[in-house]
Chain A
Amino acid sequence: MTTTETREIQPREKEVLMSEDPRSGLVFRPDVDILEERDAFVIHADMPGASEDTVDVQLEKGLLTLQARLAQTPAANRTLYAEYRDGSYYREFRLSDDIDAAAVSARMKDGVLELRLPKSVSRRPRKITVEAA
């Protein structure tokens, strides 16, 4: 198959992580964007092929782990050309203790995981009203 291409998007290589469990197949490290808003941190992670049913987010002792296990789809047809492989995703982040762990929320849309990590109330910027004496 011949292909031609024009683009302005700069592709990144899919980074393969070494897997401790050889049965789980390939594990990719999802690309992420990390934003800080006034009252929360927001993480967007690219996980094409993963759905809300296969993504697992855990927060334990300040360690946030994102993972998705993808079922290997049996190749029913002949593969003519392959640029990507299916696999699982894994990435972890160490959180500081100013995150309100109980209020962390996650949603999946079009293969992108969006995580909201609200700051604990004491760390949010506050405006102190100055009272007249």
Chain B
Amino acid sequence: MATYTLTRPSALNPWRGLMSELQRDLHSAFRPNDGVFQGTRGVYPLVNLHESDEGYVLTAELPGVSPDDISVSIEGSTVTLSGQRKIEYPVGEGTAVHRRERQSGSFRRAFELPSEIDVEAAKASHKNGVLTLVLPKSPAARPRQIAIETR
């Protein structure tokens, strides 16, 4: 497990990247594949999408992003997430940055869902750095039980 000295950041270790790649490969080899997982691709933010009879639930990992900096728009069956992840440190006035891994900048992703969304009934919430969108299907897109008449 990696250990860092706070006062003296360790020199770049060429083996570390290789080791973590190996670990990741090993991990994915033994991970049960449910056929849905896409892996952590180079997109931001990462999202998961679940479906029930009533609608969809889209969750996105947005740690440290204020709800004021996130915008959600829905049109038909397309959901668009956009915003800014602002990370600013007052460098200079006696503050130095020793390690910078957390990324900042703007993002925008659009998702085309399998059916239309009831825009009026959609809800968004933000908790512990996870954005959750509850997206009910428009009434026409919901499954209906059709009674069979007997003659």
A-to-B contact residues, CB < 8 Å: 1-18, 26, 29, 31-38, 41, 44, 46-51, 63, 75-85, 90-96, 98-99, 108-112, 117
CB-based contact B37/A82 at 8 Å: yes
In the assembled complex, the Cα of A36 lies from the Cα of B1 at a distance in Å of 24
Question: What are 20 A-B residue pairs whose CB atoms fall within 8 Å in the complex?
Answer: A7-B105, A7-B108, A8-B105, A9-B106, A33-B97, A34-B97, A34-B99, A37-B95, A44-B87, A78-B50, A78-B52, A79-B48, A80-B49, A80-B50, A81-B47, A81-B49, A83-B43, A110-B64, A110-B126, A112-B129
CB pair B1–A17 under 8 Å, yes or no, is yes
Would A9 and B7 count as touching, CB distance under 8 A? Answer: no
Q: Choose among A17, A33, A85 the residue that contacts B37 (Cβ–Cβ < 8 A).
A: A85
Knowing A18-B27, A110-B65, the reply to whether A81 touches B36 (Cβ < 8 A) is yes
Contact B63 A1 (CB under 8 A): no
B144 on interface, CB distance cutoff 8 Å: no
Residues of B within 8 A of A41 (CB): 6
Q: A49 contacts which of B89, B126, B128 (Cβ < 8 Å)?
A: B128
Number of A-B contacts (CB under 8 A): 204
12 more CB-based (< 8 A) A-B contacts, given A14-B46, A15-B20, A79-B48: A8-B105, A9-B103, A16-B23, A34-B98, A35-B96, A48-B62, A77-B52, A79-B36, A81-B47, A94-B4, A112-B63, A117-B6
Task: Tell me, rounded to whole Å, the shortest Cβ–Cβ distance linking B85 to chain A.
Answer: 6
A47 to B62, CA, bound (A): 10
| Complex CA–CA separation, A75 to B113 (angstroms) | 19
**Do the beta carbons of A48 and B94 come within 8 Å of each other?**
no
B71 interface residue per 8 A CB criterion: no
Alpha-carbon distance between A94 and B1 when the two chains are bound, in angstroms: 12
Known A11-B43, A18-B26: A1·B49 in contact at CB below 8 Å: yes
Q: Which residues of B contact A31 (CB under 8 A)?
A: 101-103
Q: Mark B52-79, 1 if CB is under 8 A from A, else 0.
A: 1000110001111110000000000000
A46 & B102 in contact (Cβ 8 Å cutoff): yes
- Contact (Cβ within 8 A) A1 B112: yes
- B95 to chain A: which residues have CB within 8 Å? 35-38
